[in-house]
Amino acid sequence: MEDESDTQTLAGAAYGIFEIILNRELTGRGRYLFERVEAEEDFMEDFGEIFSQFEEEYPQLAQALEDEPGGKDAIYRMLLEGEGVIPSKTTKIYWIVQDSPEFSPEEFDDEKGGKWLIFADKNEADELWTKIRDATVAGRLGISTKISTAKDNPESRDERMVIYVNTPDWEDEEEVMRVREVLKELGVDQRIGYKRNIETYHGEYSEGGKKVTWYSV
């Protein structure tokens, strides 16, 4: 008999993969998920078609989602209520990610990249995320942004939510600082740090007085 925790783990992984595909497919059809949700648009037809494609390609994962209470209809209702769009209402995934339209992952050298780190109180995170997300879509910020969500994460270091604003090359100080200036325009007035991806990959974090930020402005 399959263990209940294993079933939940499979369903959680299945949902994460499905939402990535859903976002990609909806974007390809002309409107981001967040645009549809914030406009209170009924996109059930698109959702159903995308889920059917997911079912054909990943039958076991799709079945794991259908076996959850309410199945795919419950997923659609959660999306309409802000799952995957509003950080404080997102409990199925650890991160909401928004790429710039110009971002091409296959052309990106991940080890050259880095990110500005912004820590926001939970009661301020939703509004700040919307500003940063929209600026990312408009091409005003870096290549990609993401924010932690309300899903309980054992790796979280405190109660705040964290936003990453990624740029492609930590050595390109002019571009890194240009992004910092846009963040100031969006209301990020406090001093924040910029961390290179190579420090993250080496598991280096600020603790015991050790600082790993490359820039701090």
Q: What is the mean pLDDT of the chain?
A: 91
106 and 187 together in one domain: yes
Q: Do 175 and 111 sit in the same domain of this protein?
A: yes
202: CATH: 3.30.760.10
Residues 52 and 154 in one domain: no
- Last residue within a domain, chosen from 47, 63, 85: 85
Residues 105 and 165 in one domain: yes
**pLDDT per position as a tens digit, 32-88:** 999 999 999 999 999 999 999 999 999 999 999 999 999 999 999 999 999 999 999
Q: What is the CA radius of gyration of the chain?
A: 18
Helix (H, G, I), strand (E, B) or coil at 208: coil
Yes or no: say if 96 and 90 are a contact pair by the CB < 8 Å rule.
yes
For the entire predicted model, the pTM comes to 0.89
Pair (118, 176) in one structural domain:
yes
User: Which backbone phi and psi does 115 adopt, to 5 degrees?
Assistant: -150, 145
Q: Are 65 and 79 in contact (CB under 8 A)?
A: no
Residue 90, domain member (yes or no): no
Considering 50, 85, 120, which residue would you say is the last residue of a domain? 85
Q: Please tell me whether residues 72 and 130 are part of one structural domain.
A: no
Counting Cβ atoms within 10 Å, is residue 162 exposed (0-12), middle (13-18) or buried (19+)?
middle
For residue 36, being part of any structural domain is answered with: yes
192 & 149 share domain: yes
Of the listed ranges 19-23, 60-64, 117-121, 151-155, the one predicted with least confidence: 151-155
Q: Are residues 120 and 211 in the same domain?
A: yes
Confidence of residue 5 (pLDDT cuts 50, 70, 90): low
> What is residue 84's DSSP assignment?
T
Using alpha carbons, select from 208, 207, 204 the residue that is nearest to residue 195: 204
Same domain for 41 and 147?
no
Q: Which of 141-145, 196-200, 211-215 has the highest mean pLDDT?
A: 141-145
**Do 101 and 191 share a domain, yes or no?**
yes
The total domain count for the chain is: 2
The reply to whether 146 falls in a domain is yes
Of 33, 63, 85, which marks where a domain is finished?
Answer: 85
Provide DSSP, 176-206. Answer: HHHHHHHHHHTT--S--EEEEHHHHHTT---
Task: Reply yes or no on whether the pLDDT at 3 is more than 80.
Answer: no
Instruction: Tell me, yes or no, whether 67 and 125 share the same domain.
Output: no
* Domain range enclosing 151: 95-216
Same domain, 106 and 207: yes
- Structure-token match 């490359």, residue found: 214
